[in-house]
Structure 1
Amino acid sequence: MTDSTAETADRPLTQDGPALRLWMIDASAYIFRAYHALPPLTRKSDGLPVGAVQGYCNMLWKLIRDMKGADGPTHLVAIFDHSEKTFRNELYDQYKAHRPPAPEDLAPQFPLVREATAAFGVHCLELPGYEADDLIATYACKARDAGGEAVIVSSDKDLMQLIGGGVVMWDPMKDRRLEEAAVYEKFGVGPEKMIDLQALIGDSVDNVPGAPGIGPKTAAQLLDEYGDLDTLLARAGEIKQPKRRETLINFRDQILLSRELVRLSCDAPAPEAIDDFAVRDPDPEVLADFLDKMEFRSLRNRVGDGKAPARDGTAFVARPKPLTAPVITPRYAPQAPTTPNEAHNFDLEGYVCVQTIEELDAWIARATEAGVVGFDVETDALSSNFAGLCGVSLAIGPNDACYVPLTHEHAPVESAGGLDFGDGPADTREPITQIEKQTAMARLKTLLENPAVLKVGQNIKYDLAVMAKRGVRVAPYDDTMLISYVLEGGLHGHGMDELARLHLGHEPIPFKQVAGTGKAQKSFRHVELKHATCYAAEDADVTLRLWRILKPRLAAEALTTVYETLERGMPETLAGMEREGIRVDPARLRRLSSEFGMRMAELETKAHQLAGRPFNVGSPRQIGDILFGEMQLPGGKKTASGQWGTEASTLDALAQTHELPRVLLDWRQLAKLKGTYTDALIEAADDTTHRVHTSYQLAAATTGRLASSDPNLQNIPIRTETGRQIRQAFIAGPGNVLISADYSQIELRLLAHIGDIPELKRAFKAGQDIHAATASEMFNVPLDQMDSETRRRAKAINFGIVYGISAFGLAAQLGIDQGEAGAYIKTYFERFPGIRAYMDATKTEVRERGFVSTVFGRRIHIPAIHSKSGAERQFGERAAINAPIQGAAADIIRRAMVRMPAALEAAGLSDVKMLLQVHDELVFEAPEARADQAIAVIKRVMEGAAEPAVALTVPLVVDARAAGNWDEAH
């Protein structure tokens, strides 16, 4: 680095630079920096967390104030991350898999930060499926190509690969301009090698694997010696250090994958033109109202009328607006706590550790007299099927809570990894005083099964499952998570910590505070009783306080029936299904893994033949070079680093006319199936029973649909041959069969009912092929003369219309031009005017109320409908159109699931077990001799699940079949 280049690192932005100066704020980085830099802050009027919003506003105002003048931007935009899932997850499903969710007190601040950005007059931008960094890269390239300058307001190393050729970075914390020299000073390589450097060192935060054991200094040395990553890997065998050489050879594919994960895309869709980002002063009224609403009085006085002084010191006279504007309460604002004490007074030291049977009896007597008790279990594992019970906590009133330890023990002096928890040698420590487990459980059983005492839990499904494995059926119960979900689904999360902050203004003790983190984390059974009592009893106390606030709102907001009929029975139902699990055939899974591996090898050989030379089929860079560089196939687009894009959508488009892209797609599919399912299911299966126990999340989707995890059994491909082979590995136990019962076209049936579409209702009542009937209506083709292609087009429209399919999307799906696709959609609405009427009415409803409802009364809030972004509002409209339909389908299957156990028992079929729910399908295990009888009961319950709440004007039809494995039954 020369002296002349070093001097540029801290110089101010040039006074006589290009006419276009686009400044892009890395807004997500701003938010997290603001959150972690400042202590927690809540709005005094209602306890809403606003610390990150305040810090963000201060940082944004400073930037706006400092950038005034001739060297400031002509265009300014704040770019946000839209969601966690992006195209990188298609390349590597573990990308960012270990990143923890945003802190619960930060989550409700995200929409407020966007509102703040708009209030300050700064344009907001985000794009589903892409990270903020990709949008920044795309617009940086556009500004550069237009002869302008792009200034990225961030210090994130991931963006440093973009520096050069008219693109610079500005570190707002250090007021420092970052150019090539600054990158070299920090990392030992220039911006042009940052992608290769990051591919080697990886990123633990984003779960980019990199090369194990190679850090930044070593990576820089290697790249300096060999020039670039491709040369380094090609000559890895020449490296003298054995460990370094073996790492580069053995982890070659992993390193190349990492390069694709860190490489930013210069070809992300640009939803708005740069001209839309022209710098403007904020509207004084809008800005003042926002700051007043947030109660940022100090900043309000500093900002004045929103016109920042120039950086050259030009005089600025603030004209503060009197603080008389009303406080605007957010739509999801919590209800006032029942008493001031409940909102602010948590006496953690006052909780009781129950260590004698006499004390336990006294607590049980008090809980029985109260008639309602907060309840929580503490265990030593996350899976209810394998967790050991450490203790139980009870709460009778605010600060009136206890913890009953059952299996606590001293931590080993030498724990795994050689850590000493400081308790001294095991033989010198006093024994832990706690009630004998069987005696305590017998007493607790009387309380937890007492029909006169309501047990209140938070996400109580887990607690029910843990106690059921120990012979205790907890009933009756309420679940504060599900009550919150019914009241405010779609507005925020429903975890206990977030609800405590929203409704109680309280920050619960984090688990890591009592158990540690990482390698030093200890089992809860090893936590000292004083700390365990504070942590566990607080959970029960918080839960009971939340119940006292939230439960009365169900009646006040006419949502009691929704909770009672759609939610309350689900925890017990799902806990039973999770406990049963479903059997898999490990030998078959191992064979499938082997077959997939061999087929991958065959596809690799075929790909080499089609390309005319060997190459790494797992390397997007090499694939791009072959497809677009050597074979000159059309449609290639390069990323910011100059590499060809080879994402699935690109290969899929090429595969329509070329064989090699199809072979590569097939290879990727097999690689994913092998890693995600066959190998993972073997690992997840119980060694003794060979059964896999998934876990269901009840409050995961705003529409009421369930989610499945550890492992996820809801995303196994249905229509592909390989997906079918995986389902064949799910088998019934000896003497049993699996029964798959699946609603037929339930969403189209609900569309016909909800939209009151006479033509669709007639077809469903007559039992006609609905897609052929639709095609007949649209194209005037008699049913007996219907050809498969016409039916296929009608089917694509039928399924796409309720998801807001566009002419562009339909054209891509059917392989036709947009004009023809647009004509199809127009004809569809002309033939079925009720659908257009339903869509228009739904849009009106969501704009007026902020939510839509299913026919069973479930409310689905759509916050995006009030966004200042037109793209977000359009997304909100599409979500609102689909939500009543998908939500009603979810409601129906929930009603069926809750009724199913009792219906089977009443029919003398208590040995028939419900095992899985996969969207519109239920899977059961039944004795082979009683399969027909079970199918009759299952179909009756499922087909009548809407009644008596809703009398559907179309019949529900369930297809059910029994077989030895899931695929044959489906």
Structure 2
Amino acid sequence: YNLVDTAPKRTALIKELEAAPEFCFDTETTGLDPLVADIIGMSFSCKKGEASYVPLLGNEEEVISILNEFRHLFENEEKIIIAQNLKYDLKILHKYGLSIKGKVFDTMIAHYILHPDSRHNMNVLAETFLNYRPISIETLIGKKGKNQTSMRDADLNKVSEYAGEDADITFQLKEVFGPLLEKDKLTDLFNNIEMPLVQVLAEMEEEGIRLDVDTLKAFSNELTADLTDLEKDILKMAGTDFNIDSPKQLGQILFEVLVITDKPPKTKTGQYSTSEDVLAKLTGKHEIVEKVLSYRSLKKLKTTYADSLPNEVSEMTGRIHTTYSQTIAATGRLSSVSPNLQNIPIKTARGREIRKAFIPRDSNHLLLSADYSQIELRIIAALSGDENMIAAFKNNEDIHTSTAAKIFGVKPDEVDREMRTKAKSVNFGIIYGVSSFGLAQNINSSRSEAKEIIDSYFAQYPGVRQYMDQSIENARKQGYVETIMKRRRYLRDINSSNGIVRGAAERNAINAPIQGSAADIIKLAMINIHRQMEKENFSSKMLLQVHDELVFDARKDELDRLKILVRQNMEHAVKLDVPLIVEMNAADNWLDAH
């Protein structure tokens, strides 16, 4: 591996990269957060077993001047540019005014598409596919902790070897994964969805979203007052002082002092169980149970959201910057970390208050939320080809009312709330392979009534039953199921002799194509929206993706145009036998926009 630390050496390296049809690059930086990390070097490889490292240790002007020597390589649209976890390197390049216009190949995402259930970090991939164990970063900067030093201070020759090796390994992994993607007919999914999405997500992460910290502080104080009241009530009912946050003490109060059930559930270790599921089943036995459940849910709101989100605001930008991962959820969905903005509560009125604190960048903007309406049910209609379900969506009927009318044998205008709720449970339950036992619990009915409802559902939607049986059959034969974009989910346990394990795999066989197709569709929509917003020079920005919803910072004078563009691209991302419908709303906070 070469250390390229002079101008003539750089010129020679650039010539070599210009002549190569593809090259791999990797940035070395001072940290894992691209917002605050500085680049200290970059490695390149365009031939197996060879690599070069360019140190970037001068002041910012010198660093930018050296990076600019490589600019034309990154902006060459004909080049194939390879990286492992490309999104990180892209964000680093963006900080220094560079962008990538070539075709990209991220080895981490390539492996994810080939093996969605595995781990995708470079060391694992090198050992698995190249039979090689890379140099550990700890040999350069020490173990994590306060004694860890910066890459900036590490021995230059060692850094050069480490960085060169990264680029060389990644280059070799591309040679392995490229043909495998072709063999499994996964290149379209990779090149047309996952790779263009990297750029879109990088920009969304860089943009971040504004948080109204004062709103959250006020909400936190409100929660503190409510928790104090609840605590008083609970201790009064218990007739003694105890620590509500201790499951052990709470168990003793509920099952020994108050004896609210004669068969107290136990954990594996023999302690009383006070999990949420257990308590939910005991509501109605004693009023203390509901109070404890309320206490827990408010406590979680306070600690996980109201008190922690303000700490996530970046000092540099004054905004919250989440990190999206394309390689965690095996179904193809995105996930979000530090902080996770995909699990901001929505089910309870108090939980939804958290969304009030997410606000537009200034008074000249609004937050626009665009949400697919019942996309998973529409996909099941399209995949199963069930005529009754397709007709209901084509006629723009309320699918839960329509299902209720069919399974209870009444006219749509005779469907009452209880019928609709039961139909809704079965509509969504079917996607997840719900049993009569599970449905009975969801709708508070006997198992025989739940079984009748399920049987009646399949009688009305015979195509859905066929689709489910066919999905399981396909999975048994080929070991995997596919989404509409040919994304695969492998189901190793589909032929297991253990009924419980096999049952879980069968439910995945039904659900993975539905959830995965929904993920494919919104990813395509995001790519197309991003492309068109760029082409038409919008100053509005796409900020968040929360499964079936996209959130934008919309400039007020662009709002009407943006709505048309977003609707067009979301509703027509793919052609299905059922219409895709998007619900949209704009407001000055996320709660009111949703």
TM-score by length of 2: 0.96
What are the within-5 Å matches in structure 2 for residues 146-161 of structure 1? none
Q: Does 1:382 align with 2:382?
A: no
| Equivalent-residue separation in structure 1 for 2:246 and 2:305 (angstroms) | 22
Aligned partners of 1:613, 1:932: CA distance in 2, in Å? 60
Q: In structure 1, the residue corresponding to 2:543 is in which secondary structure?
A: strand
* Aligned twin of 1:357: 7
The secondary structure found in structure 2 opposite 1:917 is: strand
- 1:376–1:867 Cα change, 3 Å: farther
Match of 2:487 among 858, 861, 866: 858
Q: Deviations over 1:119-169 (max 9, x none)?
A: xxxxxxxxxxxxxxxxxxxxxxxxxxxxxxxxxxxxxxxxxxxxxxxxxxx
* Pair 1:454–1:868, CA change in 2 (3 A): same
Partner of 1:739: helix, strand, or coil?
strand
Deviation at 1:866, TM superposition (A): 4.1
Q: How many Å separate the matches in 2 of 1:482 and 1:637?
A: 44
Alignment of 1:600-619 (within 5 A): 600-619=227-246
| Pairs within 5 Å for 1:235-254 | none
How far, CA to CA, are the matches of 2:436 and 2:289 in structure 1?
26
Q: 1:641 to 1:702 in 2, by over 3 A?
A: closer
Q: 1:612: Cα distance to partner?
A: 2.9
1:954 pairs with 2:582: no
Match of residue 78 from structure 2: 452
Give CA deviations for 1:3-51 in whole Å, capped at 9, x if unaligned.
xxxxxxxxxxxxxxxxxxxxxxxxxxxxxxxxxxxxxxxxxxxxxxxxx
Flag the 1:438–1:688 CA change in 2: closer, same or farther, 3 A: closer
Q: Which structure 2 residues correspond to residues 502-651 of structure 1 after superposition, within 5 A? A: 502-517=128-143, 518-634=145-261, 635-639=263-267, 643-651=271-279
- 3-state SS in 1 of match to 2:308: helix
Using a 3 Å threshold, how does the CA distance of structure 1 residues 639 and 945 change in structure 2: closer, same or farther?
closer
Q: 1:553 to 1:620 in 2, by over 3 A?
A: closer
How many residue pairs get matched?
A: 590
Is residue 807 of structure 1 aligned with residue 457 of structure 2? no
Q: What secondary structure is seen at the aligned counterpart in 2 of 1:568? A: helix
User: Rg: which structure is higher?
Assistant: 1
**TM-score, scaled to structure 1:** 0.59
Aligned-partner residue type, residue 456 of structure 1: I
Partner of 1:781: 410
- Cα distance in 1 for residues equivalent to 2:146 and 2:205: 29
User: 1:965 aligns to what?
Assistant: 589
- How far the C-alpha of 1:694 sits from its partner, in A, is 0.2
State the Cα deviation string for residues 530-572 of structure 1 (Å, max 9, x = none): 1111111111111111111211233333222111222110110
Please, which moves more after superposition, 650-659 or 638-647? 638-647
Q: Separation in 1 of the partners of 2:270 and 2:173?
A: 54
Could you say which residue in structure 2 is the equivalent of 1:478?
Answer: 105
Q: Could you list the per-position Cα deviations for residues 672-724 of structure 1 after superposition, in whole angstroms to 9, with x for gaps in the alignment? A: 12221122211110235321000011011111100100100111111212221
1:843·1:881 contact (CA, 8 Å) conserved in 2?
Answer: yes
Residue 668 (structure 1) aligned with residue 318 (structure 2): no
> Are the equivalent residues in 2 in contact too, given 1:909–1:934 (CA < 8 A)?
no
Q: Distance in 2 between matches of 1:386 and 1:688?
A: 8
**1:745-764 CA-partner distances (Å, limit 9, x unpaired):** 00000000101111111111
Change beyond 3 A, Cα 1:936–1:814: same
Q: Which amino acid is 2:471 matched to?
A: T
Contact 2:309 2:339 in 1 (8 A): yes
CA distance in 2, matches of 1:524, 1:667: 46
Equivalent AA in structure 2 for residue 766 of structure 1: N
CA distance in structure 2 between the aligned counterparts of 1:650 and 1:553, rounded to whole angstroms: 47
Distance between the aligned counterparts of 2:269 and 2:469, measured in 1?
A: 45
1:642 deviation in Å? Answer: 5.1
Whole-angstrom distance in 2 between the partners of 1:389 and 1:542: 21
Contact 1:356/1:435 (<8 A) preserved: no
1:738 maps to amino acid: L
Whether the 8 Å CA contact 2:366–2:553 is kept in 1: the answer is yes
Question: Would you say the 8 A contact 1:403–1:533 is kept in 2?
Answer: yes
Amino acid at match of 1:732: P
CA contact (8 A) 2:481 2:512 kept: yes
CA gap 1:792/1:901 in 2 versus in 1, 3 angstroms = same
Q: Distance in 2 between matches of 1:554 and 1:486?
A: 8
What is the alpha-carbon distance in structure 2 between the residues aligned to residue 407 and residue 742 of structure 1? Answer: 46
| Equivalent pair of 2:386/2:461 in contact (CA under 8 Å) | yes
Match of 1:696 in 2: 324
Instruction: Tell me which amino acid in the other structure corresponds to 1:608.
Output: L
Q: Tell me by how many angstroms 1:469 deviates.
A: 1.7
For residue 519 of structure 1, give the secondary structure of its aligned residue in structure 2. Answer: coil
Offset of 1:909 from its aligned partner? 5.0
Task: Say which structure, 1 or 2, has more relative contact order (CA 8 Å, 6+ apart).
Answer: 2
* Aligned AA (2:590): W
CA drift at 1:659 = 2.1
In the alignment, which residue of structure 2 is the partner of 1:189?
A: none
C-alpha contact (below 8 Å) 1:406/1:435 kept by paired residues = no
Tell me the equivalent position of 2:512. 883
Query: Do the aligned residues in 2 keep the contact of 1:405 with 1:435 (CA within 8 Å)?
Result: no
Contact map agreement 2:265 2:278 (CA 8 A) in 1: no
Instruction: For residue 670 of structure 1, report the CA deviation from its aligned partner.
Output: 1.6
Deviation digits for residues 89-130 of structure 1 (CA, Å, limit 9, x no counterpart): xxxxxxxxxxxxxxxxxxxxxxxxxxxxxxxxxxxxxxxxxx
| Structure showing the higher helix proportion among its residues | 2
The amino acid that maps onto 2:85 is N
Q: Which runs of 5+ in 2 are unaligned?
A: none
CA distance in 1, matches of 2:269, 2:340: 35
| 1:842 Cα deviation after fit | 0.6
Offset at 1:641? Answer: 5.8
2:391 corresponds to? 762
What's the offset of the Cα at 1:450? Answer: 2.0
> Is the 8 Å Cα contact of residues 583 and 689 (structure 1) preserved in structure 2?
no
Alignment of 1:905 with 2:534, yes or no, is yes
Alignment of 1:124-523 (within 5 A): 351-407=1-57, 436-476=62-102, 477-490=104-117, 492-517=118-143, 518-523=145-150
SS in 2 for 1:436: helix
Shift of 1:864: 2.2
Tell me which amino acid in the other structure corresponds to 2:584.
Answer: A
SS of the residue corresponding to residue 371 of structure 2 reads strand
Which residue matches 2:546?
Answer: 918
Instruction: Please say if 1:798 is aligned against 2:427.
Output: yes
> Given that residues 458 and 481 in structure 1 are in contact (C-alpha distance below 8 angstroms), is that contact kept between their aligned partners in structure 2?
yes
Secondary structure in 1 matching 2:81? strand
Residue in 2 that maps onto 1:185: none
Closer, same or farther: CA 639–761 of 1 in aligned 2, 3 Å: closer
Name the amino acid aligned to 1:693. H
- Counting only pairs closer than 5 Å after superposition, residues 65-104 of structure 1 correspond to structure 2 as none
The one-letter code matched in structure 2 to 1:865 is I
C-alpha distance in structure 1 between counterparts of 2:173 and 2:300, whole Å: 42
1:408 to partner: Cα distance: 7.6
Q: Which residue of 1 aligns with 2:366?
A: 737
Paired residue type of 1:403: Y
For 1:795 and 1:541, locate their aligned partners in 2 and report how far apart those are by CA, in whole Å. 53
Question: 2:154, 2:55 → 1: CA distance?
Answer: 11
How much does 1:448 deviate? 1.6
Matched, 1:844 2:473: yes
RMSD (CA atoms)? 1.7
Q: CA deviation at 1:844?
A: 0.9
Structure 1 residue 640 displacement after superposition: 5.9
Looking at structure 2, the residues matched to 867 and 671 of structure 1 have their Cα atoms a distance apart, in angstroms, of 41
For 1:650, the aligned partner's letter is V
